[in-house]
Amino acid sequence: MSSATAGGLTAADQHLVEGVLAGRRRALAKTITLVESTHSDHQRRARQVLAALLPHTGRTIRVGISGSPGAGKSTFIESLGLYLIDAGRRVAVLAVDPSSSVSGGSILGDKTRMELLCRRDEAFIRPSPSAGSLGGVADKTREAMLVCEAAGFDVIIVETVGVGQSETTVAGMVDAFVLLQLPNAGDDLQAIKKGIVEIADLIVFNKADIDERAAAFARGQMRAALTMLRSNSPNWRPPVLTVSALAKRGIAEFWAEIERYRSVLSATGEFDEKRRRQAVDWMWSLIDSGLRRYFRAHPAVRSALPELVRDVAEGHTTPGAAASRLLAYLKH
């Protein structure tokens, strides 16, 4: 084992940090593996590595892309990624897929997805970590995002599917949250009902090549619906676009809207404010999950819990009384 350096980093981890900063893929992949590990020693090392990388993060745009399976997310991300690379950018694609621990990865897991993008040096694609709960998966992805930023990727794309709360979670870790929709699929109604439209900064109807008129109609409907919904920002009304990811149409226009979004929100200070708020929210969510772990591991809680759970279930104790008794154990 190598000796520790001034920042608490071992020489090996210092080497890892330097590798990431130099943009070396092997170091990048190894660091993300370290970050994703659930081993407590790895987690401690990962925290130190991330602390060393932190000053080199943030000079990016983080874009979340959500949509139902089949909406064309991977096709769209591939077209967008290739477009951005042509424009001189470096693109990292990460995923938040809480179902991946069950299914073995429904997004990004399949090697045939984004085949052209995979082959490019200017792109880095990482499947969803399979860390179990949505919170766990999201935390690892947030950290992987920081590592990619330190490695010089200047556009970070986070893909997610409409599973449970995953859209809200991803919206909470990116600058711009994009909803990819299908015209004609009743998709838009679903999204409005689920409240996803309200958290979207941009809405994109894909597969416009199949039926241009249907796409234009869906766009009109969505624009009308948006006028009735609350906007995320007083200065930004989410634009609704039509694209064809497959035919690579509308991709440049989409990116122009992302750039416009960034400049409008930067001008009002909202862009940085949102990131600050996200960082603090993330800290609180880590505290919440840490407290929960600490609580469950507490010896007095562990011994009293089964009986109290039974009492609550059978109506012998109120949930409030049981909770307060259990929480009181933490004071000792």
Torsion-angle region of residue 315: left (phi > 0), alpha (psi -120 to 50) or beta? left
Among 64, 67, 152, 250, binds ligand GDP (CB under 6 A): 67
Distance CA 58, CA 147 (A): 10
Among 209, 223, 275, 289, binds ligand GDP (CB under 6 A): 209
Looking at 87-133, list the stretches that DSSP marks H as alpha helix, in order from N- to C-terminal side: 100-103, 115-118
Taking CB under 6 A as the rule, does residue 183 contact ligand GDP?
no
Residue 176: its H or E element: strand 176-181
Contact 194, 100 (CB under 8 A): no
Taking CB under 6 A as the rule, does residue 160 contact ligand GDP?
no
Name which of 149, 143, 121, 159 is nearest 46 in CA terms. 143
CA 40 to chain centre: 23
Q: Which residue, 75 or 99, has its beta carbon nearer to ligand GDP?
A: 75
Q: Which residue, 60 or 244, has its beta carbon nearer to ligand GDP?
A: 244
| Residue 249 DSSP label | B
Contact 167, 105 (CB under 8 A): no
Taking CB under 6 A as the rule, does residue 72 contact ligand GDP?
yes
With a CB cutoff of 8 Å and minimum separation 6, the contacts of 55 are none
Name which of 177, 183, 158, 143 is nearest 57 in CA terms. 143
Cβ at position 178, least distance to ligand GDP in Å: 12
Half-sphere exposure of 121 (CA within 13 A, CB side): 3
Q: Which residue, 45 or 126, has its beta carbon nearer to ligand GDP?
A: 126
With a CB cutoff of 8 Å and minimum separation 6, the contacts of 157 are 63, 64, 65, 77, 80, 81, 91, 92, 93, 94
Taking CB under 6 A as the rule, does residue 74 contact ligand GDP?
yes
Q: Which residue, 95 or 150, has its beta carbon nearer to ligand GDP?
A: 95
Per-residue x/- marks for ligand GDP, 15-54, CB under 6 A?
----------------------------------------
Please list, residue by residue across 300-320, b when 16 or more beta carbons sit within 10 angstroms of its beta carbon and e when fewer do.
ebeeebeebeeebeeeebeee
Cβ at position 245, least distance to ligand GDP in Å: 4
Per-residue x/- marks for ligand GDP, 232-271, CB under 6 A?
------------xxx-------------------------
Taking CB under 6 A as the rule, does residue 69 contact ligand GDP?
yes
Task: Choose the stretch contacting ligand GDP; rule: CB under 6 A; options: 72-80, 215-223, 296-304, 311-319.
Answer: 72-80
Among 11, 51, 116, 210, binds ligand GDP (CB under 6 A): 210
What are φ and ψ of residue 79, in 5° steps? Answer: -60, -45
Task: Choose the stretch contacting ligand GDP; rule: CB under 6 A; options: 70-78, 97-105, 231-239, 279-287.
Answer: 70-78
In the complex, residue closest to ligand GDP by CB: 72
Cβ at position 289, least distance to ligand GDP in Å: 29
Total residues in contact with ligand GDP, by rule CB under 6 A: 15
With a CB cutoff of 8 Å and minimum separation 6, the contacts of 8 are 48
Distance CA 181, CA 68 (A): 8
Among 66, 206, 232, 242, binds ligand GDP (CB under 6 A): 206
Cβ at position 36, least distance to ligand GDP in Å: 22
Taking CB under 6 A as the rule, does residue 66 contact ligand GDP?
no
Taking CB under 6 A as the rule, does residue 219 contact ligand GDP?
no
Which residues of the chain form contacts with ligand GDP (CB under 6 A)?
67, 69-75, 206-207, 209-210, 244-246
